[in-house]
Structure 1
Amino acid sequence: MNEAVYIGPDPKILQQVKAWRELYEQIVVEKGKPLNNWEVTALLEIYGLRDVDAAEHDAADLFELGRYLTPFIEDYKYEVKTFELEVPPSKVKRIIQNYLEGMAFALPMLLQVFFTLVIGYGIWSSLELDVRTATAIAMGTFAALVVTGGPAQAIGRKGLFYIKMEEYNLAYKITKKLFRYFVVQIAIVGLLVLVFNLFFQLIPTDMLFHMFVYYILLSLLFTTFAIFYMMELYGTISFYVLLGIFLVYLCHSLIFHLGIIYSQIISLIITDIVVFFDAFRRVKKLTEKSREKEGDAEPRLSLLFYSLNPYMLYGTFYFMFLVTDRLLAWSAIPFQPYYIWFNVRDEIGLDWALIVLILLIGLSEVIIYEFMYRVNEDIISHPYFEARKFNRLYSKFFIKFNIIFFIIAVFVILLVYWSIRLLQQNTEWDFIDVFFVDPTPMIFIFAAISYAFVANALTNILFFFSYSRYISVLKGIIFGLIVNFLVGLLLSRMLGYQYATVGLLVGSIVFWLFVIRFGRKFFKNLDYYYYSAY
């Protein structure tokens, strides 16, 4: 009688069980313990698997694969996360804190404007420049803002998305890919301008040189700053702006006594290099937080840009909107040497008005955080049959915060104007006296009111972008830009260059109306937009 010989389990079966276990471990990372095979199947779908993929794991479909993986539910050690309930600060404290954080977002722009007005120069602006050079540098600055507006939105949005999802490898890879692409884009635009001018000779060589150098250096700086915005390191950006201004001061006034142009170029080159290496050092450091099973498959470039295209267009059109009135005003005076010629009175009025925009941007941070503090808790506390009650609550919130915003905006405009008046009475700065020479006060008033509407629109846009709604925003900025251009063009040619600012005002109101109109719909159906965001 032959004895049965035990030869152990089939190695193929052991290998398949091992593969199933590895797959199970991958789908439950940070997901917790599933209840049954149905939830395991759902996790497989969330992981991105389809019925056709189940065949690779010897299963007919995902439901069968879910049943194969179900035995691992009980013998897997799940990570237990502990959370400390954060006690929110008092309302007054958090409003002050959030306002300061919002101001930190706009502080780099404030520093540039402040130092230009007080000591006479910043990193890329100066009151010492002759009109010819100032025109060239301003054109380079405007071009840099418009060309990098879209890239800044793309890097900030996609990189921050992966960081919030704790996909740090992808955050690093996508940031590198986008940055390389946009640097090439910056270079191509610059080359096209050079070739165009070579054939048509619109700008003299010296002006073209200044324009091109500032365009390249500022474009690189603004694009790299987008990485810091992505990581919400607003204070670091302000530090580098101060560093750049200090380097200009060092080269121009303190030690080397170089011309302001050379001082700014040296400062921009050094700042670009330091900011670039620090930005990518920080992004690379993010990968140290990566989990062992974190995915790193990059989306295809075509899909990446398809998803980012609306935000890139918005960033580009937004900066076009902000510079349109300047270009119209600077081209409205007859018998000037070139079609666009720097206008000191117009620029001073607009620079002071920018302070209104900066101060109001801090208010945006307060409002969006007050919203976030409440909405997650409120939507849980309202059952589905109380959806209308929930939406009415936030429709009232929408009306309330917009009214408060404009009351504060009036106060801020008056505050800035009377601050300038006090400076005139108590100082001997020439640029303060220039402010009160007609038509600069009128330009300031129109621009300040315009920026109040823009700041309010930007605040509402934060809600829409938080829930992936961008169509009305894009329509609003496009129609606002068209109205800004047409009204500004018509009035500046008929009545005088200062009336280009009226185009800015009317365009701002049109932009604001588009945003407010969608805002009413958004908050009336907030439950829908909340749950359908992604």
Structure 2
Amino acid sequence: MENHFTNIKSLIEKTKDKIGKPVSSEVVEATIESLGIREKDTKDDFGFNSIKDLAELVFYELTTDKYYIGAKNEKEIEVERTQPKIIQLKDYLRVKTQIFFQYYSLGIFHLLPVLIQIAAIVVFGYSLWTFVGFNEIQSTAVVLGVVIGLVSTGGFVQVIGKQASFYWNYEDYRMTNKTINYLHKVGMLSIFFVLTTIFLVNFFFHIYPYEILFVVFAYAFLVGMLLLMLAPLHTIKQRWVITFSIFLGTAVAIYLKETTPLLIFVTHWIGIAVAIIIAKLFLVAYFWRLTKNKKSISGNNIKVPVLLYHNYQYFFYGIFIYVFIFIDRILAWSSGIDKNLPFLVYFEKNYELGMDLAILVFLLLAGVLEYSIASFTRFIDIGQKITDHKTPEVFNNQLRKMYWQQVLLLFVTSAFAFVLIYYIINASWGFEGQFNQTLVQLSIKVCVIGGIGYVLLAWGMLNSLYLFTLGQAKKPLKAIIYACLLNIFLGFILSRFFAYEYSVVGMLFGAALFVALTLKANINYFKNLDYYYYAAY
């Protein structure tokens, strides 16, 4: 009898773990049979004549005993453990405030590598790939190398963020590592392909001397590889390594510049290589520790056709974002309207100073973008849990309202950024005080127009991030392509027939078009957000 009682208690626990609270005794009967218990075993093991009688007892205990009321099966318990906590509507403001301070400060903190570069330029007149002592030919080679490196790898960076995050979120660390290594390899081959193509074009048309081309290629390869190595650190939430590697690489480069007779180019290359090696060694060690005793959940091979199918839109979006950012510079530097250019694209200092100041606006908006997408992904899941299925418009309206609050925050932050730039231009401690140079009106004009353009670009990227969250990548891709075309067309006309600095107007109107198209997509997106959320998962 005592053995029967123990077996029955054990059976009740097993049934509870498998199905939670049962809806009928027939379900319990089927569960008992699935556990391998046979009709002929019930008398000896449990003291019942049949499985049906045993099932009725188990059903009664699970539905009436206070200990089992509200019982959940193993899967329900796991979902409850891993899913975000449901938050009441009255707690929204408090939670939003917490998320804002967490992610906005995180986004600003991750500007530390940029701040390190700015500090190095102010103190030493030198950073990881810039030097205030470069002449225009040297600056042309360096900037072209940086542009080619960023554009060549921008698509792979976007795919790393998308595909590696997929495996990372499912804790499939082996496939995360394999994906990162595969994209690193393909990204490196892509850089070689781009450089080979440029070399062949230059071979036939003699656009640049080979000495300049060598410098361009060295910077392009190293900057591209650096971008590839740093990209996974965002995905695996180890962004401190980005700051560390950039800091150490910059420190090594500055030390070599100050203490050795090496060329500035060489000190740059060594510094960038140090940053690349640090990031790669960390990734190898980190994933070795993470995967040494674990098997892959999704298989051991990367399915290239599947990878391409799921990520090609993100890949091209990543490329066109970088293309958009540099179009106005290339058009301005190749205008020749005010002077004869020695090369097809030739660096122009005053224009670049204006755009360097303008891009500070974009960088300072990083915290807003970080906060916006974090709060959206958090509250979209919470919202669908607390919203009645009969009123999906409530769910949609709540998220739409949150979106416009974030747009407002974007513009408030932009206003503070413009105030900062005003002081950089006019204060005694600003640009003139640090570099003993006065910004010409052309630079200030480019800075103002470019700064507004970067605010609009950030807004368009915010819209795109919302659309990406639920797998709607086609519309942002089309929007950035159209924006690039308008940027090229308008910038070309204005820089060739009016003044070269007006190529920045093409960037401004291109960014405005990007916002308009992605905003239209977002408005439709929020009208049917419940549908898109359901379709994505």
TM-score above 0.5: yes
Deviations 1:92-151 (A, max 9, x none): 454222112112444434433453355322111111111111101111110001000001
Conservation of the 8 A alpha-carbon contact between 1:321 and 1:484: yes
Q: Distance in 2 between matches of 1:74 and 1:257?
A: 83
Alignment size in residue pairs: 470
Matched position secondary structure for 1:429: helix
> Cα distance 1:392–1:180, how it changes in 2: closer, same or farther (>3 A)?
same
> Cα distance 1:68–1:95, how it changes in 2: closer, same or farther (>3 A)?
closer
Q: Distance in 1 between matches of 2:356 and 2:290?
A: 37
Equivalent position amino acid for 1:341 in 2: Y
Q: Distance in 1 between matches of 2:74 and 2:434?
A: 68
Report 1:469-508 matches (<5 A). Answer: 469-508=472-511
> Cα distance 1:303–1:321, how it changes in 2: closer, same or farther (>3 A)?
same
Q: Residue in 2 aligned with 1:18?
A: none
Quote how far apart the aligned CAs of 1:411 are.
2.9
1:355 maps to 2:355: no
1:154 maps to 2:159: yes
Equivalent position amino acid for 2:520 in 1: R
> Cα distance 1:196–1:388, how it changes in 2: closer, same or farther (>3 A)?
same
Q: Residue in 2 aligned with 1:136?
A: 141
Conservation of the 8 A alpha-carbon contact between 1:169 and 1:296: no
Q: Distance in 1 between matches of 2:530 and 2:292?
A: 37
Give structure 1 stretches of 5+ with no counterpart: 1-31, 38-66
Deviations 1:293-328 (A, max 9, x none): 834243421221121110000000110000000001
Quote how far apart the aligned CAs of 1:34 are.
5.0
Q: Residue in 2 aligned with 1:281?
A: 285
Q: Residue in 2 aligned with 1:406?
A: 411
Conservation of the 8 A alpha-carbon contact between 2:327 and 2:488: yes
Q: Residue in 2 aligned with 1:520?
A: 523
Q: Residue in 2 aligned with 1:267?
A: 271
1:419 maps to 2:424: yes
> Cα distance 1:295–1:338, how it changes in 2: closer, same or farther (>3 A)?
closer
Equivalent position amino acid for 1:517 in 2: K
Equivalent position amino acid for 1:151 in 2: F
Conservation of the 8 A alpha-carbon contact between 1:140 and 1:210: yes
Equivalent position amino acid for 1:144 in 2: G
Q: Residue in 2 aligned with 1:99?
A: 104
Q: Distance in 2 between matches of 1:423 and 1:257?
A: 34
Deviations 1:333-387 (A, max 9, x none): 3312112111111111111111110111111122223333433222111111111
Q: Distance in 2 between matches of 1:393 and 1:74?
A: 51
1:466 maps to 2:451: no
Deviations 1:397-422 (A, max 9, x none): 22332233223322321222223322
Q: Distance in 2 between matches of 1:423 and 1:94?
A: 37
**Among 514, 520, 526, the residue aligned to 1:511:** 514
Quote how far apart the aligned CAs of 1:192 are.
2.1
Q: Residue in 1 aligned with 2:326?
A: 323
Q: Distance in 2 between matches of 1:163 and 1:421?
A: 47
1:392 maps to 2:377: no
> Cα distance 1:158–1:105, how it changes in 2: closer, same or farther (>3 A)?
farther
> Cα distance 1:298–1:383, how it changes in 2: closer, same or farther (>3 A)?
farther
Higher deviation after alignment, 331-340 or 319-328: 331-340
TM-score, normalised with respect to structure 1: 0.81
Higher deviation after alignment, 475-484 or 167-176: 167-176
Q: Residue in 2 aligned with 1:369?
A: 374
Q: Distance in 2 between matches of 1:323 and 1:104?
A: 25
Q: Residue in 2 aligned with 1:63?
A: none
> Cα distance 1:495–1:289, how it changes in 2: closer, same or farther (>3 A)?
farther
Higher deviation after alignment, 487-496 or 174-183: 174-183
Higher radius of gyration, 1 or 2 = 2
Higher deviation after alignment, 235-244 or 206-215: 235-244
**Among 417, 442, 460, the residue aligned to 1:439:** 442
> Cα distance 1:426–1:184, how it changes in 2: closer, same or farther (>3 A)?
closer
Q: Residue in 2 aligned with 1:59?
A: none
1:33 maps to 2:57: no
Equivalent position amino acid for 2:331 in 1: L
Higher deviation after alignment, 387-396 or 511-520: 387-396
Q: Distance in 1 between matches of 2:276 and 2:397?
A: 49
Deviations 1:400-459 (A, max 9, x none): 32233223322321222223322457963236x34x212000000011101111111222
User: Aligned-pair RMSD on alpha carbons?
Assistant: 2.9
Equivalent position amino acid for 1:270 in 2: V
1:205 maps to 2:190: no
Q: Residue in 1 aligned with 2:245?
A: 240
> Cα distance 1:235–1:420, how it changes in 2: closer, same or farther (>3 A)?
farther
Higher deviation after alignment, 382-391 or 413-422: 413-422
> Cα distance 1:419–1:483, how it changes in 2: closer, same or farther (>3 A)?
same
> Cα distance 1:408–1:71, how it changes in 2: closer, same or farther (>3 A)?
same
**Among 114, 125, 146, the residue aligned to 2:130:** 125
Conservation of the 8 A alpha-carbon contact between 1:464 and 1:470: yes
**Identity rate, percent:** 26
Higher deviation after alignment, 439-448 or 458-467: 458-467
> Cα distance 1:71–1:427, how it changes in 2: closer, same or farther (>3 A)?
same
Q: Distance in 2 between matches of 1:210 and 1:114?
A: 25
Q: Distance in 1 between matches of 2:166 and 2:232?
A: 13
> Cα distance 1:72–1:342, how it changes in 2: closer, same or farther (>3 A)?
farther
Q: Residue in 2 aligned with 1:168?
A: 173
> Cα distance 1:522–1:426, how it changes in 2: closer, same or farther (>3 A)?
closer
Equivalent position amino acid for 1:276 in 2: K
Q: Residue in 2 aligned with 1:533?
A: 536
Q: Residue in 1 aligned with 2:459?
A: 456
Q: Distance in 2 between matches of 1:199 and 1:285?
A: 50
Equivalent position amino acid for 2:180 in 1: T
Q: Residue in 1 aligned with 2:45?
A: none
Report 1:38-77 matches (<5 A). Answer: 71-72=34-35
Q: Distance in 2 between matches of 1:366 and 1:69?
A: 49
Q: Distance in 1 between matches of 2:202 and 2:457?
A: 34
Quote how far apart the aligned CAs of 1:257 are.
4.6
Q: Distance in 2 between matches of 1:529 and 1:449?
A: 32
Quote how far apart the aligned CAs of 1:160 are.
1.2
Quote how far apart the aligned CAs of 1:505 are.
0.4
Higher deviation after alignment, 422-431 or 361-370: 422-431
Conservation of the 8 A alpha-carbon contact between 1:110 and 1:358: no
Give structure 2 stretches of 5+ with no counterpart: 1-16, 23-29, 39-72
1:296 maps to 2:299: yes
Q: Distance in 2 between matches of 1:281 and 1:70?
A: 48
Equivalent position amino acid for 1:511 in 2: F
